[in-house]
Amino acid sequence: MKDREHRTFDPAEYLDSDEALAAFLADALMDAEHPELFPAALAAVVHSRGNVAQTARTAGLSTPELYKILGADSDPKLSTLRALLDVLGVELTIRPKLAH
């Protein structure tokens, strides 16, 4: 039996359009049972864009502040989150909840 090479899944490899990026973040945000998914998804998006330090500066944050926001236990202020999402080219929207 041949040894198989295994790679770690990196969602950043598939975030090749603004639409894919927005759908990825929206799905993570909507998963109420797993709130830790949104910061992880946000981290994948930031890393997919390349320069973390530049992203932080453009959002008005220091690099350590950005890494703190991307942590699993983060709870950023809405203004900080909006600034970061703006830099990433997406926006936060509110809509009526769909009936189940």
Length of the chain: 100
Q: pTM (2 decimals)?
A: 0.79
* Residue labelled with tokens 């981290």: 43
17-62 pLDDT per residue, tens:
888 889 999 999 888 898 888 898 999 999 888 889 999 999 999 9
Q: How far apart are CA 72 and CA 43, in angstroms?
A: 10
Q: How far apart are CA 64 and CA 41, in angstroms?
A: 18
Q: What is the mean pLDDT of residues 65-74?
A: 88
Q: How far apart are CA 61 and CA 100, in angstroms?
A: 39
pLDDT for 84 beyond 90: yes
Best-predicted range by mean pLDDT among 1-5, 7-11, 70-74? 70-74
